[in-house]
Amino acid sequence: MKTFLLFLMLVAIARPQTIEQTERTVHSMEVPQYPALALQARVQGVVEMIVNVSATGEVTNATVDTGHPLLNALSVENIKTWRFVPASDGKSSRLHITYSYKLDDSLHPHRRLNIDLPTRVEIISPALPVFTNTSSIQAR
């Protein structure tokens, strides 16, 4: 019996924390941009955030769960511009939202935005060309 109780306790502790994912509809948002410094540094990655939305539809708090430091700030700044349709039940919500930043190195790159609201935003930008200064290399 003690072994069974210990097993139950371990399962409860090891179980990942779930986030109450309430269905909310986005009413408006600013178009997200690729952070300029991250673009120059050729940084790609995913930013996962926990976002609290009030009953009236305003983002009250956004906390980065995981993400690259060069991508985090602009993601939080953008999510704070989102406005949701007011909740029909009059309750606030807690959402898990992912921003994905990718660079397009193809022959014909173009800027794209893929949105699966309210859970995922994907920003794809042409990669900046990499210039090397070969004139400073001297033959020895």
Question: Domains in the chain, start-ordered, CATH in brackets?
Answer: 19-128 (3.30.2420.10)
State the pLDDT at residue 106. Answer: 85
Asked if 25 and 93 count as a contact pair (C-beta separation under 8 A), the reply is no
CA–CA separation, 135 vs 66, rounded Å?
Answer: 41
Phi then psi dihedrals of residue 4, to 5 deg: -65, -45
pLDDT in tens, 85-102: 999 999 999 999 999 999
Alpha carbon separation from 87 to 58, 97, 104, 135 (Å, rounded):
10, 18, 38, 62
SS3 content of the chain, % helix, strand, coil (to 5): 25, 35, 45
Q: How far apart (Å, rounded) are the C-alpha atoms in residues 31 and 115?
A: 10
Percent of the chain with pLDDT over 90: 68
> Band of the pLDDT at 108, cuts 50, 70, 90?
confident
The string of pLDDT tens digits covering residues 6-37 is 444 443 444 444 445 568 999 999 999 999 99
- Identity of the residue numbered 18: T
Mean residue pLDDT of the chain comes to: 84
Predicted confidence at residue 110, as pLDDT, reads 86
Q: Are strands 120-126 and 93-104 parallel, antiparallel or unpaired?
A: parallel
Residue 133 has pLDDT above 70, yes or no: no
Q: How far apart are CA 80 and CA 99, in angstroms?
A: 13
